[in-house]
Structure 1
């Protein structure tokens, strides 16, 4: 059982793509019960302990489901597809138990159901987001880079005076994230945003809509410049810092970049991502 949920290549890849905050292989493995107790005790000291435990339970359940479907149905599921199924199941779970909570607790839990996790050791995570104003066709891009400890490395705001639509703005944000990582000579990166459609287009070879075809093809080319690259979908609740930068970008002209030290108006969002008040 330990090998199935922790050590097999599929399970390792799934835990990795979910950005689980602890290394599953670091807990005692004398039995499944001992291993699970290690996860539970470590999570109890984290500010988002309930969410982490929920993520672990649903991940283990998905690994078991994938194993059974492969044995009994002959179907194969990729780690990325399994990741999406885990996150979808957690959202359904949170909706199902919401009526059992006190109203104020419900609001608090739903706003933090999916949290921002630090990237694995050796990786840099780049969160991206875009804003779009339909009335005048303008928009903006927000990028935030952090390391394995959650330390701020850089942020970039880009004003888009003319943009076709919101989807185009998100695609441009993805391309700018890749360009920024390339310009910084990063080798191991995670690109994370709340635009599931754009991430899917870049991470697969599915046919492209005409409005974003050229941009996504650029992204597909750029992603091969890195030794290791992963794309993560993240709901708005765990993409707040990039969203704040994207909103700010509409108030500037051109591009503004911050390195080493974040602007003062971004600090509260960065602290919130890490579970600080």
Structure 2
């Protein structure tokens, strides 16, 4: 045990022997009692949040989009899925989800919209200055046109683990290959996710 302790803690005092030894070869570090959990957060009052995601399966080319719109209390205003045909890649599915989600949301709310996606590439294309010359020019320019309207619409990149509801919806859209929209009452597959998200709302 002394040799293992010296290997893991070369600067420690071997006589006092106050270092904790891990027999798997790593020093045991003091654990922080505060656990920072990343989770979905509601928008501020007077604003709504739209979470979107695209799903693409390269083996068979199937794709789908999922979107969910919630208010500052976490209540679902709408949830939707869409099967996408002729998608070239995952980025195209992501852009389609953003476009579809914003278009739907504009029909159901007059409040400012915060759009969240876990696709950094999509956000980069949409936010870049100048004319887009990528393979997704048409989709990008359509989204930019919507964002240029008078109503404030902000789009930002988030981590996937806080985008679970729209990710699940996108998977449904891809596997079921259908289009559906639920107003105020999301499908059972999403209800439990929404409930878990709302547990963090104080």
Q: TM-score range by the shorter chain?
A: 0.7 to 0.9
More helix by share: 1
Q: Which structure 2 residues correspond to residues 38-77 of structure 1 after superposition, within 5 A?
A: none
Q: Which structure 2 residues correspond to residues 198-237 of structure 1 after superposition, within 5 A?
A: 198-205=122-129, 208-237=132-161
Q: Which structure 2 residues correspond to residues 147-166 of structure 1 after superposition, within 5 A?
A: 147-166=71-90
Unaligned runs of 5+ in 2: 1-27
Checking the alignment, whether the CA contact within 8 Å between 2:49 and 2:69 is kept in structure 1 is yes
Change (3 A) 1:203 1:173: same
Change (3 A) 1:206 1:170: farther
Between 157-166 and 197-206, the greater mean CA deviation after superposition: 197-206
Q: CA deviation at 1:233?
A: 1.2
Q: Determine the structure 2 residue equivalent to 1:31.
A: none
More strand by share: 2
Q: Which structure 2 residues correspond to residues 103-252 of structure 1 after superposition, within 5 A?
A: 112=37, 114-205=38-129, 208-252=132-176
Indicate the structure whose relative CO is greater, using CA pairs within 8 Å and at least 6 residues apart: 2
Q: CA deviation at 1:226?
A: 4.5
**Which of 188, 198, 202 is 1:274 aligned to?**
198
Tell me how many residue pairs correspond in the alignment. 172
Checking the alignment, whether the CA contact within 8 Å between 1:188 and 1:226 is kept in structure 2 is no
Checking the alignment, whether the CA contact within 8 Å between 1:186 and 1:226 is kept in structure 2 is no
Secondary structure of the structure 2 residue equivalent to 1:250: helix
Checking the alignment, whether the CA contact within 8 Å between 2:64 and 2:177 is kept in structure 1 is no
State the Cα deviation string for residues 35-71 of structure 1 (Å, max 9, x = none). Answer: xxxxxxxxxxxxxxxxxxxxxxxxxxxxxxxxxxxxx
Partners of 1:144 and 1:237 lie apart in 2 by 15
State the Cα deviation string for residues 80-133 of structure 1 (Å, max 9, x = none). Answer: xxxxxxxxxxxxxxxxxxx8476xx9xx85xx3x32110011111000001100
Change (3 A) 1:224 1:265: same
Q: CA RMSD in A?
A: 2.3
